[in-house]
Copies of this chain bind each other. A is one copy, B any other.
Amino acid sequence: MNEKIIDGKHCSKQIRENLKKEISKLPSIPELVDIQIGNDEASTIYINNKKKAAESVGIKFHHVHFEDNIDKQIIIDKIKELNNDIKITGILLQLPIPKEYDEQELINYIDPNKDVDGLTKINYGKLFLGQDGLVSCTPLGVIKLLEAYNVDLENKNVVIIGRSNLVGKPLIELLLRKNANISICHSKTKNLGEHTKNADILIVAVGHENLINKDMIKNNVVIIDIGINRLNGKIVGDVDFNSVIDKVKLITPVPGGVGPMTVTMLLNNVVKSYKLTNKMDV
């Protein structure tokens, strides 16, 4: 494989093997529940991927599916039931959910110790306060990849494009802990290239194909591409891979970069939530 390409599949495989060993030694089987509302097609694919990944390391996977237009209270009651079920150690709400529901309201019913997406207000608060808690999977996966490839972050200029609660914002905190200098750009940023040209490490999480090309980066940049876009029947990221490849030091491909790490970090969080709910050391 091109030595510039960050191999998320390989990195992921190693972590999953370790998780599998760790799980086999736990006193009982961790169980993960993925709650889906409605029939978003991409969600159904993601859920199947999570199920396969979970089962491959010895986690029992439950898919709870509600039809669109279900009464909100039924979802809340289900979450409460799962919170009280000692066998269930991880709960997540598959996003996006239909617009008539308040995503954050529902998420906040999840027991913070079972909140494997790290999106309850308590885990989100702990994250930014610098405390230990459950942290959302994609940002964790990005950090693990950078660590695996020995990318030095201290006093490096990291430019993050995208400010979502799930990806961009947690990355700010996680990268501050690594003593990076951080810049955040977003949909209202004009002249994006002026910002991205300063990046030693460029992290793109927008969902817009070909957003970044070779004229917007400096030589030897490390690029982490979190975008997932469908273009002419293919899955591509936010970065024009062929345009930038000659200039970069390292880059994540799409698919095969951050994607596998996101699912792996979910498995990692299920083990952590197992320990938290069973009051074991994490």
- Which residue numbers of A lie inside 8 Å of B, CB to CB? 104, 119-131, 154-155, 163, 165, 169, 172-173, 176, 179, 181-186, 188-190, 195
Contacts and interface: CB of A to CB of B under 8 A. Distances in A.
Given A123-B125, A124-B128, A125-B122, A189 B184 contact: no
Which of A130, A185, A188: most chain B Cβ within 10 A? A188
Contacts of A163: 176
Contact of A121 (B122, B181, B184): B122
Q: Interface majority SS on A: helix, strand, loop or mixed?
A: mixed
A189 B124 CA distance: 26
Given A125-B122, A129-B104, A176 B184 contact: yes
A180 to B, nearest CB: 9
Contacts of A123: 125
A130 B119 CA distance: 12
Given A124-B125, A125-B121, A130-B165, A181 B181 contact: no
Given A181-B185, A186-B176, A190-B155, A128 B131 contact: no
Contact of A154 (B129, B188, B195): B188
A234 to B, nearest CB: 31
Contacts of A104: 129, 131
B185 A128 contact: no
